[in-house]
Amino acid sequence: MEKKANLQTEQIFERSNQFLNLLRTIYGKIVVNSLVDCSDKPVLKLQDPDKINSFINRYKRQQEEGCSCCKKIYSKQSDFSERKMDFPSWLGNLDFREKNAKRIMIIGEDISPAIKKDINIAYGLARYIIDDDGKLFDESGKEVEKRNKLWFNIKKLADGQLHAILENIYITDTSKCHAFKNQNIWKSCSDTYLKKEIKLICPKVIIFQGRTSYNKARKVFERDMKEEKIPEDNFTRIGKISFANQDPIPFIKIYHTSVANRANWKAFDNNYYKRLFRNKILSEI
């Protein structure tokens, strides 16, 4: 019995270490060691907002830091500073003692070119204060991130219960660097990292934010991904992703929450979308 318990403990720490090593491969040791609190492994936390913001404001990315996926492509760009990174984000514990380190994974496209820093925390989760309406505020009380309404719209889908699910969310991108919508970067980054990331987090559900993240994932997962078309809607997709030795993961594709999709998001005010999200996503967690 003791031997079995020790083996289980080793496996738990191995999963946690694999996740940290994945992050270090993508972002480099300096970034990971500065943003992630590893003092209570295998339970990982992000640093508090003051430390996160301080690091983001002073960090200058060097050519040799991070993964090799897009280095050749970016070496052709005249300005290396455009190679910005988006670090995954979560609230509270990322607990690798649990089968599902987080229950909900949101997958976005890639970091916005509007981000002025060399590194950003995905969609402000763990960096800013998110109020009951899904608005983001910095430590001084100033509203930020006005152009992207992800949390505001997730609140709509969750029938107003935003804070009931925020602690369950892990958010990441198909491409970890700003890709200039470069197909080669998307492919190399997604092929190399996304499947490993999902397997290690092992979410109960996945939300694809936008057509691009969904299409990139379909190319990565190939036969692992089965979808069903919603008769009432030509855009939204639901289905399941099945990996060997893991339970199938239900997914839903939603509109990207950029300003360009403001009109499309109005559709999510109606009961049909709330019911779809509740029955296909919230019921699973």
250 forms beta bridges with 240
Residue 264: pLDDT band by 50, 70, 90 thresholds? confident
State residue 103's pLDDT score.
95
Instruction: Calculate the average pLDDT of the chain.
Output: 84
C-alpha to C-alpha distance for 82 and 85, rounded to whole angstroms: 9
Q: How much is the pLDDT for 3?
A: 47
Q: What is the pLDDT of residue 75?
A: 61
- Name the phi and psi angles at 227, rounded to 5: -120, 160
Does residue 54 have a pLDDT over 90? Answer: yes
Shortest CA distance to 277 belongs to which of 159, 147, 172, 134? 159
Q: Which helix (H) or strand (E) holds 227?
A: strand 225-229
pLDDT at 77: 52
Interior angle at CA 225, CA 108 and CA 237, nearest 5: 60
Instruction: Please answer whether residues 56 and 27 qualify as being in contact, where contact means their C-beta atoms are separated by less than 8 angstroms.
Output: no
pLDDT for the residue 20: 96
pLDDT in tens, 174-224: 888 876 667 777 777 777 888 899 999 999 999 999 888 888 888 888 788
Q: List pLDDT tens digits, range 76-129.
A: 555 555 678 889 999 999 999 999 999 999 999 877 777 788 888 988 899 999
What pLDDT shows up at residue 158? 84
Strand partners, 184: none
pLDDT tens-digit readout, 128-159: 999 988 989 988 889 987 777 889 888 888 87
pLDDT average, residue stretch 50-77: 77
Which pLDDT score is estimated for 45? 97
Q: Which fold does the domain 2-284 belong to in CATH?
A: Uracil-DNA Glycosylase, subunit E (3.40.470)
Q: How far is the C-alpha of 168 from the C-alpha of 76, rounded, in Å? A: 40
User: Per-residue confidence at 1, pLDDT binned at 50, 70, 90?
Assistant: low
The pLDDT value given to residue 50: 93
- Percent of the chain scoring above 70 in pLDDT: 86
268 falls in which pLDDT band (50, 70, 90)? low
The ranges assigned to domains in the chain are: 2-284
Longest dimension (CA), the chain: 60
Cβ neighbours, 10 Å, residue 218: 17
Local confidence band at 58 (pLDDT 50, 70, 90 cut-offs)? very high
159: left (phi over 0), alpha (psi -120 to 50) or beta: left
Q: Is the pLDDT of residue 9 over 70?
A: yes
SS3 at position 169: strand
Helix residue ranges, H only, the chain: 2-27, 29-35, 49-58, 71-75, 150-157, 162-166, 183-189, 195-201, 211-221, 262-265, 271-280
What are residue 254's DSSP bridge partners? 209
Q: How many residues does the chain have?
A: 285
Band (30; pLDDT cuts 50, 70, 90): very high
CA distance 128 to 257: 18
Q: What is the DSSP string of 101-163?
A: SSSEEEEE----TT--SSEEEGGGTTTSEE-TTS-EE-TTS-EE-TT--HHHHHHHHTTT-HH
User: What pLDDT was estimated at residue 7?
Assistant: 52
Separation of alpha carbons 219 and 227, rounded Å: 13
